[in-house]
Chains A and B, each alone.
Chain A
């Protein structure tokens, strides 16, 4: 039983990283209908910047993280302005290919700037842990930080989408771009905002992975493993990203724990295929209804 609970907890921690990456996919997809294959590499850059500031330059961890979050918002903003905006009106397929190019470009630059070796971001409370009374389960400081950060992020996003005028404008733009413009909404600014937010959640996910010891220039590939989480929840559903991430993380860890590591990787893709067969628009995604 305690083995099961322990696996579930680490599954949830991994799942929340998936959820954050999935949220990045969802935000950009909702606002612009583009699948951003550069999400993983935006995440990698954010993680490396935090690592450089905190480990190399000795900034306190949370200051380094805060500064990187702000910077990654602007990185997303700038990427949208310089690379995506000129592609406006081109077929979605071309834009997606551009994001793949962007991903490899960032990876190349990161290789030059940060080197090719594996790093770890030191979390200030690293090594400490909490033992849950009653059940024989240990929560590491990293686990607690991961779950807290993810929950706070999703709470913030929820409030943003439900309550603020820019959040509501984003939902409006996702539902009908032409009409949103007639309401005076500048849809270009909405798409820049979406990319900025994708940068922020990417950095958070990257820093968490870095704390767990996964920081190297190809860590962006992990984002592709979070992709099933986004599809599982529904590509246009923010809440779906949380549930999709959690399911994926727990399923993966349980499979790995009981059947052996080799089965771990398989799980994500088995889940993806099954969900696409049963509910092609995801668990919470909106079914496309064409009115004629």
Chain B
């Protein structure tokens, strides 16, 4: 693989964790999140599980800045993200892959990937006035080269000039992953990355997620309903039910946790 430069570069970035402190989010009288606290350690893969409507995606939306929790804080490197706007949070190194495919379907694969690099990594908009100056051009070429490396990383190089709307579901998910990686995030949020995938696509995606964690050293927060995947790849698991954290621990333990069996898998059910 030709990803050495990309992976080396990212490994040089200091690994970062997230601290989620006593986060509460209400919509009117509904408590979507109720005093949730946990840490995501630098470089780990943490899964959040729980039944539908438990508040998992709401929590990701708080981290991304789409929702502002009424109480509590979310810290990256000691800085409270809940005070920032979504585009600023993205610029601080939080990447995200959405639950439903949210690509810009009229843009090509390459344009989708470049978008992440251009904006999150180039905050100086006035520098664009000098777009054609040699230094800008060199930077642009550098961005382009890394974008190509990332496209190689998730093995979609064949499709890079195609509008993403024409690609299959599994490929579109990979483009989304590539687009998030292009921002060289310190923390990657994945919302059901293998939802709706067949066995083969699931295995591919799991392999890419592990590569991201191990080769790039990126901290990963994963929401997933596929228990097999969660148990196989997570370092730790947090269980959320009705907006509260009900359990936290290593995946094998969590799979046997009585509270988890009750709220998530049904009473006394088999985890598989």
Contact = CB atoms under 8 A, between A and B. Distances in A.
- Whether chains A and B associate is yes
Given A165-B119, A169-B115, A172-B115, A178 B104 contact: no
B116 A184 contact: yes
A186 interface: yes
Given A168-B115, A183-B90, A189-B125, A175 B120 contact: no
Contact of B87 (A164, A171, A187): A187
Contact of B114 (A165, A166, A291): A165
Contacts of A187: 87
Nearest to A172: B104
Tell me if A's interface is mostly helix, strand, loop or mixed: helix
- Of A168, A171, A176, A187, which is in contact with the most chain B CB atoms at under 10 Å from its CB? A168
Contact of B86 (A165, A171, A176, A178): A178
B159 interface: no
A165 B87 contact: no
B106 interface: yes
A183 B106 contact: no
A91 to B, nearest CB: 19
Contacts of A169: 115, 118-119
A182 B96 contact: yes
B115 A182 contact: no
Contacts of A176: 102, 104
Contacts of B120: 183-184
A129 interface: no
B145 interface: no
A266 B116 CA distance: 48
Contacts of A183: 87, 90, 115-116, 119-120, 179, 183
B119 A185 contact: yes
Nearest to B102: A179
Contacts, number: 72
B44 interface: no
Give the interface size bracket for B toward A.
20 to 34
B66 interface: yes
B98 A172 contact: no
B106 A171 contact: yes
Nearest to B131: A164
Given A165-B114, A172-B104, A172-B107, A179 B98 contact: yes
A148 interface: no
Contacts of A189: 125
Interface in A146-165: 164-165
Contacts of A186: 85, 87, 119
Nearest to B100: A291
A94 interface: no
The interface centre, meaning the residue of A166, A171, A182, A189 with most chain B CB atoms within 10 A of its CB, is A182
Question: Across chains A and B, which 6 residue pairs bring their CB atoms closest together, nearest first?
Answer: A184-B120, A181-B86, A184-B119, A184-B90, A165-B118, A179-B102
15 contacts: A164-B131, A165-B119, A165-B128, A166-B128, A169-B118, A171-B107, A172-B104, A172-B115, A175-B105, A179-B98, A179-B103, A182-B95, A182-B98, A184-B183, A186-B87
Interface of A: 164-166, 168-169, 171-172, 175-176, 178-179, 181-187, 189, 291
Interface of B: 64-66, 85-87, 90-91, 95-96, 98, 100, 102-107, 111, 114-116, 118-121, 125, 128, 131, 179, 183
Given A181-B86, A182-B90, A186-B119, 12 more contacts: A165-B119, A168-B118, A171-B107, A175-B106, A176-B102, A178-B66, A179-B102, A183-B115, A183-B116, A184-B87, A184-B91, A186-B85
